[in-house]
Amino acid sequence: MNEKELILNVMKEAGVPLNAGKIAELTGLDRKAVDKTMAAMKKDGSIVSPVRCKWEPAE
């Protein structure tokens, strides 16, 4: 499973918007890796921000 899939799975399991720090904690990934992957996910539209600084999977 790649980083993108791992992050999306954690977001779906949580059921609430998460910030990058919490995602790093739950996945065990390095914070910089999470930030880099999430930046790409924001650009491709796979995650959205319903609340400032928190993210969830796009519908």
Answer yes or no: is 58 within a domain: no
Number of structural domains (the chain) is 1
- Per-residue confidence at 1, pLDDT binned at 50, 70, 90? confident
How many residues are present in the chain? 59
Answer yes or no: is 37 within a domain: yes
Answer yes or no: is 29 within a domain: yes
Give 18-57 pLDDT, tens digit per residue: 999 999 999 999 999 999 999 999 999 999 999 999 999 9
Answer yes or no: is 55 within a domain: no
Answer yes or no: is 57 within a domain: no
Residue 16 domain boundaries: 3-46
Q: What is the pTM assigned to this prediction?
A: 0.90
Give 30-39 pLDDT, tens digit per residue: 999 999 999 9
- 4's CB contacts (< 8 A; 6+ apart) are 37, 40, 41, 46
